[in-house]
DNA sequence: GTCTATAAATGGATAGAC
DNA sequence: GTCTATCCATTTATAGAC
């Protein structure tokens, strides 16, 4: 049952962190939720930070997977849509991390380094896609505009859920859909007419679901 | 000296919150910093939340002032630059609020309502400017693009400092300059050629300072 | 207005029995 | 592996003297 309890602690912690915010969840809350003793929890993890670090490992795997672009060919608009979906859903599943991002990272040099690396990889992936679209003639953007757009997309993915939360939005799925639409609208002005039209069709279809 | 100590507590709190993050600053830290007793601090404020709420009042005045657009005429690019500067500097001066935004707002219905109102007003102000530029023929954007751009600018102003912090940026002034440039690059693709050129000239001059 | 002293509560963490 | 009991440190907050 060791593996089991350990995993249950991680699952319950993630759920509680996401629901109430990491600063508002104590190790006692987690133990209570699972109906185990605090001592038992501390048998499996050194401390709360240790739990967070293990959750982060799962997050990092998820986000790395979500950042994998189709190899050997240029992504089309549908591909991009899918990638955004994967990214936003990962962010959503680990939203506790983003909710108090600066504070959580400030406590751990390790997480700080890993997150910086994730941002860097995300930035590179997005930049590659944009450059590819420009070269394929689908998109028109100066080098500076391409850079700014990449930054902008990353910023939106990273903080969209916080923005939605602060505005008072509660509906999880709606938040994600709006985030994706927001990113798509950012790149729309850079697209050639045909693709721009295509994008708006996709957007309407998506909105209707 | 009552007024004096009260104000010193607010000043010291703001400085400490900004430097270390609000969750990491206790009322004892604040009292220590001022070399007054905790009891004295609690004579002037009911609790930590009370201090935050009073700081928020100052913030709200600042941000409201920063959102005032020139009346009776269309803003030009230089106006927009100035507005962004005022906005980013206000955000920077009260960055503790943005650093742990979701958590701080989650604790106080009052702050939540006020902040939602600020976002709403900001959104309206930005939308007005964009619409004005479109009508003046300076900018080209569909209604949906204009909406998305307004949202995007607001998102950037709100979370740029966090993004910079997470990337490991320390230089305060550099962060602000980059934030402004980032916003300007967002609207560049929507501008007519002449204004776009003008913007890039402004941008280069700004970068060189 | 300000201080000292201290209460009251919480949260993190450990020792030792089972 | 798990529990009970408990300790320690921190933080908030108040009472009462000056």
Equal fold, B1-45 vs B48-208: no
A47 touches strand D (CB under 7 A): no
The CA radius of gyration of chain B, in Å to the nearest whole number, is 19
For residue A24, what are its two tokens? 């508002």
Q: Chain B, 31-90: which CBs lie within 7 Å of strand D?
A: 38-39, 42, 46-49
How much is the pLDDT for A64? 97
Q: Given 3-state DSSP classes, what are the helix, strand and coil percentages for chain B, each rounded to the nearest 5?
A: 80, 0, 15
pLDDT (mean) for A94-99: 98
- Tell me the pLDDT band of B28, cut-offs 50, 70 and 90: very high
Greater model confidence, B171 or B1: B171
**B48-208 fold:** Tetracycline Repressor; domain 2 (1.10.357)
Instruction: Find, in chain B, the residue whose alpha carbon is nearest to that of A166.
Output: B102
pLDDT tens, position by position, B77-111: 999 999 999 999 999 999 999 999 999 999 999 99
pLDDT (mean) for A179-201: 93
pLDDT tens, position by position, B98-150: 999 999 999 999 999 999 999 999 999 999 999 999 999 999 999 999 999 99
pLDDT tens, position by position, A136-179: 999 999 999 999 999 999 999 999 999 999 999 999 999 999 99
pLDDT (mean) for B5-19: 98
The CA radius of gyration of chain A, in Å to the nearest whole number, is 19
Distance, CA of A63 to C1' of D12, in Å: 40
How much is the pLDDT for B72? 82
pLDDT at B208 over 80: no
Interface contact A152-B152, CB threshold 8 A: yes
Among B102, B168, B185, select the one facing A145 at the smallest CB separation: B185
For residue B14, what are its two tokens? 């703001």
Asked if B51 and B9 count as a contact pair (C-beta separation under 8 A), the reply is yes
Nearest-CA residue relative to C1' of C2: B40
How much is the pLDDT for A202? 86
Interface contact A160-B158, CB threshold 8 A: no
- Chain A nearest C-alpha distance from B127 (Å): 15
For residue A112, what are its two tokens? 């700080």
pLDDT (mean) for A117-126: 97
- Using alpha carbons, select from A182, A190, A188 the residue that is nearest to residue A155: A182
Using a 7 Å cut-off to protein CB atoms, list the covered nucleotides of chain D.
Answer: 1-6, 10-16
Asked if B80 and B100 count as a contact pair (C-beta separation under 8 A), the reply is no
For residue A137, what are its two tokens? 């003639």
DSSP conformation class of B72:
S
pLDDT at B1 over 90: no
Asked if A58 and A43 count as a contact pair (C-beta separation under 8 A), the reply is no
Q: Chain A, 160-179: which CBs lie within 7 Å of strand D?
A: none
Burial class (CB in 10 A: 0-12, 13-18, 19+), B201: exposed
Asked if B38 and B65 count as a contact pair (C-beta separation under 8 A), the reply is no
pLDDT (mean) for B10-30: 98
Quick check: pTM over 0.85? yes
pLDDT at A2 over 70: no
Mean pLDDT of chain B: 95
B34 touches strand C (CB under 7 A): no
Greater model confidence, A208 or B193: B193
Extents of the domains making up chain A: 1-45, 48-208
One-character DSSP codes across A19-87: HH-GGG--HHHHHHHHT--HHHHHHH-SSHHHHHHHHHHHHHHHHHHHTPPPSSS---HHHHHHHHHHH
pLDDT (mean) for A116-140: 95
How much is the pLDDT for A204? 84
Q: What percent of chain A has pLDDT over 70?
A: 99
Other Cβ atoms less than 10 A from the Cβ of B161: the count is 21
Return the CATH architecture of domain B1-45: Orthogonal Bundle (1.10)
pLDDT (mean) for B171-184: 96
- Chain A nearest C-alpha distance from B100 (Å): 6
Among B23, B145, B200, select the one facing A23 at the smallest CB separation: B23
pLDDT (mean) for A104-126: 97
Task: Name every chain A residue with its beta carbon within 8 A of the beta carbon of B102.
Answer: 21, 99-100, 162, 165-166
Instruction: Find, in chain B, the residue whose alpha carbon is nearest to that of A149.
Output: B186
């Amino acid at each position: 049952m060791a593996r089991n309890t350990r995993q249950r602690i991680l699952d319950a912690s993630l759920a509680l962190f996401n629901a109430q915010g990491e600063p508002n969840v104590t190790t006692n809350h987690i133990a209570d939720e699972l109906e185990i003793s605090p001592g038992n929890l501390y048998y499996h993890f050194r401390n709360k930070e240790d739990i967070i670090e293990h959750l982060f490992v799962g997050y990092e795997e998820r986000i790395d997977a979500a950042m994998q672009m189709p190899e050997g060919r240029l992504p089309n608009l549908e591909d991009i849509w899918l990638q955004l979906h994967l990214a936003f859903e990962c962010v959503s599943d680990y939203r506790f991390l983003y909710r108090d991002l600066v504070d959580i990272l400030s406590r751990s040099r390790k997480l700080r380094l890993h997150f910086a690396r994730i941002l860097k990889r995300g930035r590179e992936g997005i930049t590659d896609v944009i450059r590819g679209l420009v070269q394929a003639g689908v998109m028109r953007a100066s080098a500076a505009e391409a850079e700014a757009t990449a930054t902008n997309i990353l910023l939106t993915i990273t903080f969209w859920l916080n923005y939605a939360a602060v505005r008072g939005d509660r509906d999880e799925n709606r938040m994600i859909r709006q985030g994706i639409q927001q990113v798509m609208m950012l790149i729309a002005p850079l697209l050639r007419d045909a693709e721009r039209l295509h994008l708006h069709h996709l957007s309407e279809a998506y909105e209707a679901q």
